[in-house]
Every structure is written in C-alpha cells, then in structure tokens.
Structure 1
Amino acid sequence: MGRRSPRLLSVSGLLLLFLHHQQIYAQEGILHVTGDGSPQPTHDYCILYNPLWTSLPSTLDNATSYGMENLTTRQLCSVSDVPPSGIKDKAVVVVLGNCTVIETARIAQNSGARILLIASKTGLIIPKGNRSTFKDMTIPVAFVRYSDITGMQQIVGSNILATLYTPPLPMFDYSLLVIFLIALFTVALGGYWSGVSEIEDLKSAANSRDRDSRGKEDNASLSPLSVVIFVVICCVMLVLLYFFYNWLVYIIIGVFCVASALSLFNCLAALVRKISFGQCRISCCNRILEVRLVFLAAFCIAMSVVWAVFRNEDRWIWILHDTLGIAFCLNFIKTLRLTNFKSCVLLLSLFLLYDVFFVFITPLITKSGESIMVEVAAGPLESDEKSDGNLVEVPAEPSAPREKLPVVIRVPRLDFSALTLCGMPFSLLGFGDIILPGLAVAYCRRFDIWTSSSYIYYVSCTVAYAVGMMITFIALVLMRNGQPALLYIVPCILLTSSVVAWSRKEMKKFWNGSNYQIMEPLDDGVNADNSGTAPEPSEVQ
C-alpha cells in the first residue's frame, strides 16, 4: 500500500495543491422581523451580504425597519415586474430570474425599495458581480434562505417589518490560534519525518552500496523542471475548475478520499511498526502480510468512507476532515522531496506569483469582477438560479448543500453568537499553505543530515514559517479579510534559510543540495545512536 504513495500523492497533489488560498466568505448578518400580533412577535434569521458592496448597522437600535414585500412568485428583471402597488420604502424579497444580482438591485433601487433580499433555495451564498456598472448602488443586498421566507408568515404574521444589522465580530478569534498550532505542528512533524526517512535511506545505502535503492521506491523528487511543470498544471487545473466546477469537484473529492486513506495508513503504520509485539503474519496471494496492518488499512478506509458520506455535516465532521487533512499533508511532505534550495526558491516563488495573479489580477478580467481563486474556493456562483420561463418556481424544501473542495483545514470560529443563526462559521487554511512551506522545511532537515549540522536549518526554517503565519494572521485581523498566506510565509522562509546558509558559508552546498549528498560508504547506518546526523558528505563538484 505504501509503495504506491509517490505516484498517487503526485496525482493528488496536482489536484489539491493548486488551491491553497484562504477562502473569503461574506459577512454574516441578521434579518430581524416583527409581526403585527399583540404582543408583537419577533424572530431573527441569518443573512449573508457582501461588505464591499454595502455596510449595515452594528446594532438593532441603530437600524431602520421597513415593510416587507414578498415578490418570490415573480422575477424582478424589468420595471414591468414591479407590482402596481409599488415597492417604495419596502424591503423586497425576490428570487433571481433571467438577470443578475446587480440588474435586480438596480431595478429595486430605482423603484424606491430600501432593502433587497434574495431568497436562495440552495443555501446562503455570497452576493457577487461587477459593481463597476452600477457604482451608485446604495441599497443593501443580502441573501436569505428561501425556507426562512416561506415559514416567516406562520411565525410572525402577514404584515412584516424587516430590519437588517450585523453584530460586530471580535477583533481576534481563538480558532486562528488552533489553526496556527495545527499548521506549525504539521510542518514541523512533516519536516522531521522527512529527515527520519532520509536517515533510513542513508542506512540502506551504507548496507547495500546503493543509496537510491530504497529512496526511489518510497519517495518522489521534484527537480526545477518538474517544479515548473507542476505549477503550469496547477494553473490549468484551476482554470478548468473555474469553468467545470460542478463536475470536477467530485473528482477532487474522490481523489481526496483515496489519498487521505493512504496517507492516514502511512502515518499510523509508521507508529505501529515501532511496537514490538502483535506482529502476527499471514500468507495471502504469495505475499506475507501483518495482520495488524491489514486491520489498520481497513480502519483508514473506513474513516475515509465516513468522511465521504457525512462530509456536509458541519457540526462534527470537521474533526475527521482535519485529521485526514493533517495526515495527507504529513505524508505529502515526507514523500515528495525537493532536491535542492534552487527548487525550493523556484517552487515557492512561482506559487507566490500564482497566488498574486489568481487573487489580485484575475478580478480585472473576469465578468463578475471576482477572482478565479475566490470563486473556485467558495464554489460555483449560485446567482445561476435562473429560469427559462417567466415564472421562477422554487421548491419549498431546500436542495442539497453545495459541494466544496476538501482542500482546507477547518476550525469552527469560537464566536458562539453566530452559531445559532448562520450555522457554524469556520476559519480556514488551505493545504498548500502547509505543504509548500513544509517541503522547504523538509529540505532543510535533510540538508542538516547531509552536513552534520544538527537541527540548525530545520529549526530556523520552522521558526520562519511560524513568523510568516503570525504575520498572516495579523494582516487578517487588521484587514478583516482573507489573506494569501504565501505572500507573507515565502519571504520569511527564503530569507531566513538564505541568511543561515550564508552565515555558515554553505550557500553553494545549500543551493545545489543533492549534488553534495554523501557518496562515501557509511558505517553502521548514520550514527549508531540515531542522533539524526550524518558524517560530512563528499563534494562531487
């Protein structure tokens, strides 16, 4: 099972690594409705709105109430769709027809409406679109669940007053600290595991006089040319996902199920093999199998299947999702090896440019005005709720949740007031923001082994990653918006590693990497005390 990991992880990496930007979600808000009963019944509902489009009051006392006009039985794509009684000074509720959110908002505002609520049958989504064509839009636009609108009259009555507001979020959420610890643990452990694997390879080389006999079997390497090809393929796949998301998302989910099960097995098997008892073996298909590893494989497959079945159960599945994600990242960092610092610089720099282009440049060329990265991360635009006829028919029951790409570490935000209405909000960090720096940390650990420099490069690179993550979270708190983590992590790692190599007068060795690996026979496998260091290598150049 483990011997196929390089090929499978290379394929899964091409499918998963390309999307490592933190997802950017709209601001949650509250729709407060009041009925005409005595005493007046009230109820609160969750809404999503785009804070770049409009701002809402932070308290209910500062908000203004408007009478609600339910127009979910007709489209609001032309002035003729406005009812004869008008919608002036109303909070209008519509479902999208054969027009965009911006076009509907323009008609509503020009007709005197004060609030536009879009009832979504597929769950709460983000108002999107290029506002450059309607820069004078002042009307608040928000998405609300269609099921909430249909059940509203039974709760508060027929004459409804609607009020929109958004409670302020705390300046810092402790879920970011949890994500920071997960990311740092995964990168540090993945780099250390890569070093352990390197020591085992060197031991095998000393015994067999062929240092590649084991490494080529269990690990895969990325040369500079492979890095360039890797990044190009990632770019192509991201664009394909942008246009064919509804089909490709299931391929990504399937690959993640297989790769995460394999990764969890490899991680746990490395621990199980350290246990000296319970090594019962059986013969099957001309192979000798350890019974405990067979049961372990069944357990890992079961965990992956459970995740696939319950992947949309946000309340608890995030624990299993993060466990599988950590295992995937660890196994990827350990298995995929960068051969030199040149490859590290090339990989991280190209993905930094990739981040900047797809996050900051593509909004200038897409019709919606949104970046390709954000749209793929958040899923397909649900503004496609359009009908070919003159009447938009929306079922009373909500449809299945939209599928999301399983390429992030997810931790619930510890803002319990938001859980009651808007479900469970999450703080997110993409796998690529862990794996890509982790490959550089792993290279530093292996270089420590090649040059008998203890843990100097490994520790300094890990600390640099921690600093880069902290800067990312500081920017996240200050800007109140999702941040491309590599924008801060890459400079920290590359500069720190370069300074350490330069100060130790090892920059040439560090830059060329494997060209300076050990060529001499090793005695008793890289220090009999397993200290994690190797004798000084001989230069071949």
Structure 2
Amino acid sequence: MEAAGPLRAALWALLLPLLPLVAADEGILHASGSGVPPVTKDYCIIYNSNWVSLPKTLDNATFTPLENLTSTVLCSSAEVPSVALQDKAVVVMRGNCTFLEKARNAQRLGAKMLLIASKSRLSGISDNKTDFEDVTLPIALIRYNDIVDMQLVLGNEVNVTLYSPPLPEFDYSMVVIFLIAVFTVALGGYWSGVAELENLKAVASPGERETRWKKEENVTLTPVTVILFVVICCVMLVLLYFFYKWLVYVIISVFCLASAMSLYNCLAALIGEIPFGQCRITCSNKTIEVRLIFLAIFCIAAAVVWAVFRNEDRWAWVLQDILGVAFCLNFIKTLKMPNFKSCVILLGLLLLYDVFFVFITPFITKNGASIMVEVAAGPFGNSEKLPVVIRVPRLEYSASTLCDLPFSLLGFGDIIVPGLLVAYCRRFDVQTRSSSVYYISCTIAYAVGMVLTFIVLALMKMGQPALLYLVPCTLITSSLIAWRRKEMKKFWKGSSYQMMEHLDYTGNEESTATATEQPGGQ
C-alpha cells in the first residue's frame, strides 16, 4: 500500500476551496501617536456601510483623540467614569446590551466616534437600520488585542480616524498562486508519466507486465473507493466545524508528517540523478546511502521549523508553500487513477462536495455561514489556521490585508483533484505513445479554469469553489481530445482496457503457436 499514507493525509487537503480576496464592510482605523515624528499604525475595523459612509483616502482626514474605556461596556451612562468624552473617540468593550444602546449613550456624552472592542472574532453589525436614525456618530468593531497593541506602540495619547480605501479589482498575489498551481499540476503529471514509462521499460515479458498491473491496483482509486473517499471528506469537514479547536492540531501534526515524507520523496528523486556522493553504510544487513540520511534529517527539520514558527506571517508562508507543493506533487505522482471513469466520478463528486459546503450550507447553519469558509477561516475566532493551503501575501494594500485575510489562499484540493486527471492523461499518453496530446491539453485546460476562477472571484467579491470551474474545463477538454482521436473507449477504460488488449493479443499469439506445432495446424 504505497499510497496509503499520502491518501490519508490528503483527505485534509480537500477541505478548502479558493478563498475570497475581500470581505464586506471592512475598514481601517489609522492611529497616530504623540511622538515626534508621530508614529502611525493601521488596524482593522468592521462597520456597516449602510449606516455610515467612510472616506476613501486619508486626504483631509480629521483626527479625533481616543479615550480608552475598555474597562466598561457603556450599557448605561452611569458606567462611564467622570471623564470628559466631548469630541473624542471612545472605545468600550462589547457587552450584553445592543450596539444601539451603546451608540446613544456615547452620543449623549458628546463622543464623536464609538469603537467597540471584541475579544472574539469580528462579525458584522446587524442591528435594524431604522433604529439608528437618531444616531449620527460612526460605529465600528475593533479587536481588543489591537487596542492593547495601540497603547504599547503609540502610547496613551492617541489620535484616530477612520477610512475605507477602495477594494482592488485584482491582487497580483493571484498571479503567484496561479503559477504555483499550474507548475505543481504540470510537474506532478509529468512525474507520474516518467514513472509509468520506467515501469513499461522495466517489464519485458507478458507475465511480468500482468503482475505489474495487479500491483498497481493497490495504489489506485476504484469507483467504490472514490465514493468512500468523498464520504470521509464530508465527515471530516463536519467534524472540523464542530470540534475545530481540537482537530486543528491533529491536522497540523498530520501535515508535518506527510509533508516531510513528501519533501523527502521529491528531493530523493532529484538526488538519485546525481552520479556522485553515493557512499553507503550498512545497518541491520541493509545498505543506506549517507546522503539520503542527511536528506531525511533536513526534511524533518523543515517540517519541525514550520510547526514551531507557523504563525510567523513574515516568512513562514514560504516554508508552508514549499512543503505544500511537495505534498501535492508526491500525492499526484503516487496515487494512480485506473481509468477516465474513475476520474469522472472523483471530480464530479468532489465538485458537488465543494458546491454544497460553500453555497448550500449557509441555509442550514444557525449563523448563516458557509461551513467550508468557516472552517477555512477558523471558527469562533480560533487563531490556528488549517495548513492545507498555498498562501501568498497580498500585494495590494486594502482593509482586507489588515483583517482576516492578509493572504491569498488556494486549497490543496484544488491542485490535487484536477492533478490526478492530468497525471492520468500523461500516463495514457505514455501507454498509447500519443505525443503528450492529452497531458498538454489537460494542463492548459487547468490553467484556463484557474483564470476563469479568478475572473469570477473578482466580479462576485465572494469565496468561490474553484472546482466549479476547474472540473468542467479539464473533464470536457479531455473528453473532446479522446473523442476527436476516436480513442474514447480506450481512454474511458484505461489500463484495464490496455491489459485486456494485451492479454487477447498474447493469448491469440500462443494459440497460433500451439496450432502450428500440431499436425492439424500445418
């Protein structure tokens, strides 16, 4: 069971779609200290754009002194200490009373701005708009940790202003995401084809070839196992939704183990092509190359370093992406789809899985949130994030950069799932000697699907299940190529069709030889 380890680990990789670049009603609190020159820093806020219109830029911005009242919740005027709030921005804690009560109390005391600090994850302000007709001051939610950071960095005398810069239509980090995804899918498919070619060259006799086919059944997904695989993915996602704060650490551990093994397999394949440095040592009657021992230590160290510094946003994403690409490459190369039929079932079911958990579950959950997006963002404000994504820092500055999504993200599943079809196309090219027409066409179709996903993402401004665009592009393209070349039957049945053709050929050959040896066959 060569693929059993990566198969179990990859179940986690199918949990995430392409995540949104933007979120509604996000703004920026620009804070300035009292030093010379003044130190400034930006913080994320959440506001309701239906109630208040914030300026787009800091041009002609009016700063307001900040009064920190996080020791109160401002549910009544009696809670406010004897301090003048006239023409100040006041920050209070989120309490049991409504935003409307806080706003009226703050306005009654002469405040010009109300900031509500929250220790949990920031969510939208959803009180009835008509109740706020008598409230004129802007209201916004801010993280409590940001208020603490503000005092540490800027001091006790802070002036603040609010603004909401226009959201970029396109972030160039998506170009990096695109290149990583296409490169991984193309290389994974090519690597799978190289392995197939080596197997065909190594097998000389029909008996050995039949043995090889039987052996490959242990690393393939049959239609039954495909269905089981998707069911397990659904169960895991639901369990993550309800038990995220415990299971996230299980997934982090699995990712470290699986990515270290995958990185070792990828680098070992490259080192194997180097003709020098092949000295060996004997251990338990087995000889091991010394360079592979050092390689294993390096791969384990890389995974451990990532685990320790995984929340370091400045550089940990680079290591996560390297480990993630290695994981995807190893999985695409190791797990072999036996035929196009299994590919259609796998991609079709995972497409339904993606769409259901992104678009349908908001009608089922109590808070109206998508289970997929909730799990991806970390339910209930959990600071730990699932590591099964490729992430690149956003290059265009906006409120979203400060809020929940400072990175552009792409789930491993959006690479692995179409990558398995690309790998099958490459192996089919090798088996039929078709000059890589299936492989190249399917890879280009994947790239087109990614571009289409980005376009829809930019237009709709909301999270998109990438498989909704990748699956039709790759499946339809592969089908059209097979139909145009009049190889659909062979392409649909895959290696089983090849094996039957080969057995029929060798069987007929043996019958002919037997008949020739008998007198009646002369």
| Fold shared per TM-score above 0.5 | yes
Partner of 2:204, secondary structure, is helix
Q: Secondary structure at the match of 2:379?
A: coil
1:14 partner letter: L
1:410 aligns with 2:391: yes
CA contact (8 A) 1:128 1:370 kept: no
Separation of aligned partners in 2, 1:219 and 1:51:
55
Once the two structures are overlaid, the 10-residue window that deviates more, 487-496 or 106-115, is 106-115
Q: Which has the larger helix fraction?
A: 2
Matched residue, 2:164: 166
Equivalent residue for 1:479? 460
CA distance in 2 between counterparts of 1:354 and 1:248 reads: 20
Aligned-partner Cα distance in 1 for 2:362–2:496:
43
Q: Deviations over 1:177-220 (max 9, x none)?
A: 11111100000010111111112222344358233655737971
Partner of 2:515: none
Deviations 1:363-419 (A, max 9, x none): 12222221111111011223xxxxxxxxxxxxxxxxxx8211101111122236889
Q: Report the residue type matching 2:101 in the other structure.
A: I
Q: How far 1:346 moved relative to its partner?
A: 1.6
Q: Give the secondary structure class of the aligned counterpart of 2:175.
A: helix
Other-structure match for 1:199: 197
Q: Where does residue 528 of structure 1 map in the other structure?
A: none
Q: Given that residues 206 and 521 in structure 1 are in contact (C-alpha distance below 8 angstroms), is that contact kept between their aligned partners in structure 2?
A: no
Q: Quick one: distance in 2 between partners of 1:107 and 1:51?
A: 16
Match of 1:223 in 2: 222
Conserved in 2, the CA contact under 8 Å of 1:407 and 1:430? yes
Partner residue of 2:512? none
Instruction: Report the structure number with the largest CA radius of gyration.
Output: 2
Aligned partner of 1:329 in structure 2 is: 328
Tell me the alpha carbon deviations over residues 56-94 of structure 1, each in whole angstroms, 9 at most, x when there is no partner.
431134767666453311346x55886488989874423
Q: Is 2:351 aligned against 1:352?
A: yes
Structure 1: distance between partners of 2:275 and 2:501: 32
Q: Superposed, which structure 2 residues align to 1:177-192 within 5 Å?
A: 177-192=175-190
Change (3 A) 1:263 1:70: same
Q: Hey, what's the Cα distance between the residues in 2 that align with 1:190 and 1:245?
A: 31
Within-5 A mapping of 1:126-137? 126-128=122-124, 131=126, 134=128
1:472 CA displacement: 1.1
Quote the offset at 1:445 in angstroms.
1.0
How far the C-alpha of 1:115 sits from its partner, in A, is 5.1
Q: Which residue of 2 aligns with 1:18?
A: 15
Aligned position for 1:431? 412
SS at match of 2:115: strand
Quickly say closer, same or farther: Cα 1:417–1:230, change in 2 above 3 A.
closer
Match of 1:508 in 2: 489
Work out whether residues 450 and 469 of structure 2, in 8 Å CA contact, stay in contact via their aligned partners in 1. yes
Residues 449 and 349 of structure 1: CA distance in aligned 2, closer, same or farther (over 3 Å): same
* CA–CA distance in structure 2, aligned partners of residues 197 and 284 of structure 1: 28
Which secondary structure state, in structure 2, belongs to the residue aligned with residue 45 of structure 1?
strand
Summarize the Cα distance change of 1:349–1:115 in structure 2 as closer, same or farther, 3 Å threshold.
farther
Residue 519 of structure 1 and its aligned partner are, at CA, apart by 5.3
Paired residues, number: 494
Counterpart secondary structure, 1:282: strand
Does the residue aligned with 2:195 lie in a helix, a strand or coil?
Answer: helix
Task: Give matches, 1:278-297, under 5 Å.
Answer: 278-297=277-296
Q: 1:40 to 1:106 in 2, by over 3 A?
A: farther
Structure 1 counterpart SS, 2:220: strand
Equivalents in 2 of 1:174, 1:154: separation in Å? 31
Shift of 1:167: 2.3
- Distance, in Å, in 1 between the alignment partners of 2:185 and 2:153 is 53
Distance 1:445 1:416 in 2: 40
Residue-by-residue CA offset, 1:478-497 (whole Å, 9 max, x unaligned) = 33333221111111111111
Tell me if the contact between 1:105 and 1:116 (Cα under 8 Å) persists in the aligned partners.
Answer: no
Q: Of the candidates 448, 451, 454, which is equivalent to residue 435 of structure 2?
A: 454
2:409 aligned counterpart, secondary structure: strand
CA contact (8 A) 1:87 1:111 kept: no
Q: Distance in 1 between matches of 2:290 and 2:131?
A: 67
Amino acid at match of 2:6: L
Q: How does 1:52-451 map to 2 (within 5 A)?
A: 56-61=54-59, 68-75=66-73, 83=80, 91-97=89-95, 99=96, 104-109=98-103, 111=105, 116-120=114-118, 125-128=121-124, 131=126, 134=128, 140-149=139-148, 151-152=150-151, 155=154, 162-207=160-205, 209-211=207-209, 213=211, 216=215, 220-382=219-381, 402-415=383-396, 425-451=406-432
Say which SS state the counterpart of residue 337 (structure 1) adopts. coil
Q: 1:420 to 1:204 in 2, by over 3 A?
A: closer
Residue deviations 1:288-309 (CA, integer Å, cap 9, x gap)? 2122211111111111111111
CA distance in 1, matches of 2:500, 2:200: 10
Gaps of 5+ in 2: 133-137, 509-522
The amino acid of 2:29's aligned partner reads L
Query: Does residue 465 in structure 1 map to residue 446 in structure 2?
Result: yes
Look up the match of 1:9: 6
Given the superposition, is the C-alpha separation of residues 271 and 150 from structure 1 closer, same or farther in structure 2, using an over 3 Å criterion? closer
Higher mean C-alpha displacement, 427-436 vs 195-204: 195-204
Q: Give the match for residue 390 of structure 1.
A: none
> Structure 2 CA distance, aligned partners of 1:493 and 1:225?
22
User: Is the CA contact (8 Å cut-off) linking 2:20 and 2:462 kept in structure 1?
Assistant: no
* Contact 1:205–1:212 (CA under 8 A) maintained in structure 2: no
Residues 105, 141 of structure 1: 8 Å contact kept: no
Looking at structure 2, the residues matched to 64 and 346 of structure 1 have their Cα atoms a distance apart, in angstroms, of: 59
Take 2:167 and 2:404, find their aligned partners in 1: how far apart are those partners? 15
Deviation at 1:356, TM superposition (A): 1.4
Q: In the TM superposition, what is the alpha-carbon distance from 1:339 to its structure 2 partner?
A: 1.5
Q: Secondary structure at the match of 2:336?
A: strand
RMSD of aligned residue pairs (Cα, Å):
3.6
SS for the counterpart of 1:275 is: coil
The answer for the alignment partner of 2:472 in structure 1 is: 491
Q: Could you say which residue in structure 2 is the equivalent of 1:529?
A: none
Structure 1 contact 31–162 (Cα < 8 Å) conserved? yes
Are the counterparts in 2 of residues 117 and 144 from structure 1 also a CA contact under 8 Å?
Answer: no
Check the 8 A contact 1:57/1:165 in 2, yes or no: yes
Bigger CA drift: 40-49 or 458-467? Answer: 40-49
User: Could you say if the C-alpha distance between residues 509 and 323 of structure 1 is closer, same or farther in structure 2, counting changes exceeding 3 Å?
Assistant: same
TM-score for the superposition, normalised by structure 2 = 0.83
Partner of 2:27: 29
When residues 198 and 154 of structure 1 are mapped into structure 2, their CA distance, relative to the original with a 3 A threshold, is closer
Q: Give the counterpart letter for 1:176 in structure 2.
A: M
1:49 is matched with 46
Letter in 1 for 2:481: V
Query: What TM-score, normalized by structure 1, do the two folds share?
Result: 0.80
More displaced, 485-494 or 431-440? 485-494
Match of 2:516 in 1: none
Provide the C-alpha distance between the structure 1 equivalents of 2:65 and 2:507, rounded to a whole number of angstroms: 81
The 8 Å contact of residues 48 and 143 in structure 1, kept in 2 or not, is answered as yes
Say if 2:15 and 2:372, in contact at 8 Å, map to a contact too. Answer: no
1:475-515 CA-to-partner distances (Å, cap 9, x unmatched) read: 22233333221111111111111111111122222222232
SS class of match (1:403): coil
CA contact (8 A) 1:29 1:47 kept: yes
Measure, in 2, the Cα distance between the counterparts of 1:538 and 1:451.
Answer: 20
C-alpha distance in structure 2 between counterparts of 1:323 and 1:350, whole Å: 29
Q: Secondary structure at the match of 1:179?
A: helix
The whole-number CA distance in structure 2 between the counterparts of 1:110 and 1:371 is 33
The alpha-carbon distance between structure 1 residues 324 and 144, as it changes in their structure 2 partners (threshold 3 A), is same
